[in-house]
Amino acid sequence: MQADIIVDAKGLACPMPIVKAKKALDGLQAGQVMEVSSTDKGSVNDFQAWIKQTKNELVKHEEVNGVYKFYVRKT
């Protein structure tokens, strides 16, 4: 998947992956996609809750070798 911006939050604990993601998403236009990489297991639940609150779209979520990737489309 092609992302317009990539946020590296690996090694950061909650809530920092969400904080970095929010800051990056604020700079995007509607329809653009952000990729966030995190190693925090709690970020899976955090991102799902955050997406519901912000009404953005979680396009894809995957986990590869302990790295969680979230693709978020700004609405």
CA distance 13 to 40: 6
Q: Which of 3, 5, 12, 14 is catalytic?
A: 14
Residues 13-32: tens digit of each pLDDT: 989 999 999 999 999 999 99
- Residue 69 confidence (pLDDT) above 90: yes
- Residue 39 confidence (pLDDT) above 90: yes
Determine whether 14 is an active site residue: yes
Q: Which residue has the higher pLDDT, 1 or 52?
A: 52
Enter the pTM of the model. 0.93
- Residue 60 confidence (pLDDT) above 90: yes
C-alpha dihedral (73, 59, 37, 33), degrees to nearest 10: -30
Kindly list the structural domains of the chain, giving each domain's residue range(s) and its CATH number in brackets, ordered by start: 5-73 (3.30.110.40)
